[in-house]
Amino acid sequence: MSAPDWLDELALQAGPPWLGMGTRNLPAAEWLVADDDRDRDLIRKAVLLDTRHAEVFAALDSPAVNTASIEVLELVLAATGPQAVPTDLHPLDAAGRLVQEDLCLIVLRDGAPHLDAASLCFPSYWRLADKLGRPMADVHGPVAHYGEELAAKVDTFLPRLGRDRLVWRRNWSIHDDPSYFLADPTPPHRVVPPEGLWLRSERQTLRRLGSAEVILFAIRTQQVPLAVLGERPDVAHRMAKAIGAWSPTMTAYKGVHGAQAARPWLASL
């Protein structure tokens, strides 16, 4: 496997701060990203939605969620082309089966953005059932440094996002388990980098829907063996430097499942 182009989109600055919004404007035509993995990803989603539906789909029954879900399905069909849609599915459930992205509805209510619905087949160390209906600050509560570095920025940014503006950002992590549905971390185990490690990234997009109080958060999960960084020592060195600058809190949160083990190999390239 070759090094993907999205490596150049990773935010690899050494902290502090260790977290940042990093949002960039996005043309509407580039909202969804389909690639050669599309059929594979849609099969993965279909299996999960058919066999573990309660774990990967949930939606509060509210006017905001119901209206927004219909709009999301319309947006997906407009972007992907006409497709047969089962009429017995929740509109957000149907939309999630048509794209590689996970789809989350963030509802602005009670003075804060809340996660009120999602088709979430590819989580990274979190469970939808634990987060549904909670404010975004609570959803991200376990994330190291989120409270002091990002919570206020997110809660301010989302209500101000204009209807004619789409934005995107990326995150990255190193995992010792290649599963796309990864609700819980695999118990730490010994690896010999780069074997047994994967670079995982989420291309995240945000767009306000026609309903002023709802924002669609789409998450495209992409993953490659860490070994592909052998082709990109420039990226590997920056990644090693970023990992080496993590605070103890960030290391405990993000480093024990592969990142710390990978750092010497990354720096050696």
3-state secondary structure of 30: helix
Cα dihedral 53/88/80/200 (nearest 10): 0
Residue 77 pLDDT class (50, 70, 90 cuts):
very high
Q: How far apart are CA 32 and CA 29, in angstroms?
A: 8
First to last CA, the chain: 18
Residues paired with residue 103 on neighbouring β-strands, in sequence order: 119, 218
Q: Among 13-17, 37-41, 116-120, 260-264, which is the least confidently predicted range?
A: 13-17
Q: What percent of the chain has pLDDT over 70?
A: 100
Q: How far apart are CA 234 and CA 222, in angstroms?
A: 20
Q: Which pLDDT score is estimated for 82?
A: 87
DSSP state of 220: E
Average pLDDT over residues 83-95: 94
Residue 90 pLDDT class (50, 70, 90 cuts):
very high
Q: pLDDT (tens digit, 9 = 90+) per residue, 158-187? A: 999 998 899 999 999 999 999 999 999 888
Residue 63 pLDDT class (50, 70, 90 cuts):
very high
Q: Which pLDDT score is estimated for 229?
A: 98
Residue 15 pLDDT class (50, 70, 90 cuts):
confident
Tokens of 226: 């860490």
Tell me the average pLDDT of the chain.
Answer: 95
Q: CA angle, 168 as apex, 162 and 170 as ends, to 5°?
A: 150
Backbone angles phi and psi of 17, in degrees to 5: -70, 155
Higher pLDDT among residues 188 and 151, named by residue: 151
Q: Which pLDDT score is estimated for 38?
A: 96
How many CA atoms within 13 Å lie on the side-chain side of 195? Answer: 3
Q: Which pLDDT score is estimated for 124?
A: 95
3-state secondary structure of 196: coil
Average pLDDT over residues 200-229: 96
Q: pLDDT (tens digit, 9 = 90+) per residue, 106-130? A: 999 999 999 999 999 999 999 999 9
Pick from 210, 172, 204, 162: nearest CA to 32: 204
